[in-house]
A and B are shown apart, each in its own frame.
Chain A
Amino acid sequence: MSASVESHEAAAPAEHAAAKHPAAEHRDYIGAKLGMWIFIFTELILFGGLFVAYGMYRSMHAHEFHKAAGELNVVLGVINTIVLLTSSLTMVLSIVAIRLKRKAQSMIFLASTMVLGCVFLVNKFFEWKAKIHHGIYPGSEHLMARPPGERLFFGLYYGMTGLHGLHVTVGIVVMAIMLTLLGRDKIRHDDFIKLENAGLYWHLVDVIWIFLLPLFYLAA
């Protein structure tokens, strides 16, 4: 391929400035969003592996999965679902707000998202605590005495809700950082990709829970 090297430069003044600072990532809104979406794909596949395990074991132990699911607290599961769905709403409203130059509203929505995330984690904590109190946890004697299907169900339950909870925690930390950046005007109506990308991550956490609800809580 021949390159006509004597081509016109695409250099606008902005590009010249970028040329002087090679270490700085040039601003590419679409590129940054594409990068985040690719990361989202990796998270989908990461959880996907656990869904593979769930699918196979459920097909092998359908009845025992059904029975074990009956021991989970459906009400708590549904409450957590509503909590996460609402947090997704407040997250996206936060982005809309900053684009409309409503900084205070944006920060309130973002803080609400964090609070709802914490509510989710608190619910999860009590849920796990109750189960562990009843002797249902990986490696417990009580669990070992149960039929294999039920043991697998709870192994998957702890594994999947645990990994999900870890992602919720990370999401809250990320949002805390975004809140700080919002406060310092580093996220603005004309430069909000960081908030948008944090939003994408949070919505993914929500989507995963959307699938976890019927697989675990509603399987009875």
Chain B
Amino acid sequence: MNSSMEQQDAHPHIVGYGTFIKVWLALVALTGVLVGLSASHSPNLAVLGLLVITPTKASLVFFYFMHLKYESTALKYMVAIAIAVLVIFVGLTFTDYLFR
């Protein structure tokens, strides 16, 4: 389970420049949409922006820039667990503040 022999096999395939540039364009576009929604004077649309677009942007960074799409299932589960733990911390703390 060690030694440099494995290192060659372990390197994943190379994702090209093009994919990353497309992801960047998507991120910039989504940022524009987000600003638009927030400026729309509709609080519901603004919240939609926060709850949908922002996690989408973050996911693009995780899956493409941070290469998570091409990583092992185990690592994907670990990321999911870390995020779930954070969501639970926020959620359980809210049970206090929302019901005071």
Contacts and interface: CB of A to CB of B under 8 A. Distances in A.
| A–B interface present (Cβ within 8 A) | yes
A215 B53 CA distance: 13
Interface in B60-100: 61-62, 64-67, 71-72, 75, 78-79, 82-83, 85-86, 89-90, 93-94, 97-98
Interface of B is mostly: helix
Contacts of A203: 61-62, 65-66
A210 B54 contact: yes
A218 B5 CA distance: 50
Find the residue from B66, B67, B85, B98 having the highest chain A CB count within 10 A. Answer: B66
Chain A binding surface SS class? helix
Interface residue range, chain A: 35 or more
Contact of A96 (B20, B83, B94): B20
Interface residues of B, number: 52
Given A59-B94, A214-B38, 7 more contacts: A27-B2, A44-B82, A51-B90, A74-B35, A89-B21, A93-B20, A210-B58
14 contacts: A30-B10, A33-B71, A37-B79, A41-B78, A48-B86, A49-B89, A52-B89, A89-B23, A207-B58, A213-B54, A214-B50, A218-B35, A219-B38, A220-B38
Interface of A: 10, 12, 14-15, 18, 26-30, 33-34, 37-38, 41, 44-45, 48-49, 51-52, 55-56, 59-60, 74, 78, 81-82, 85-86, 88-89, 91-93, 96, 99-100, 190-191, 196, 199-200, 203-204, 206-207, 210-211, 213-215, 218-220
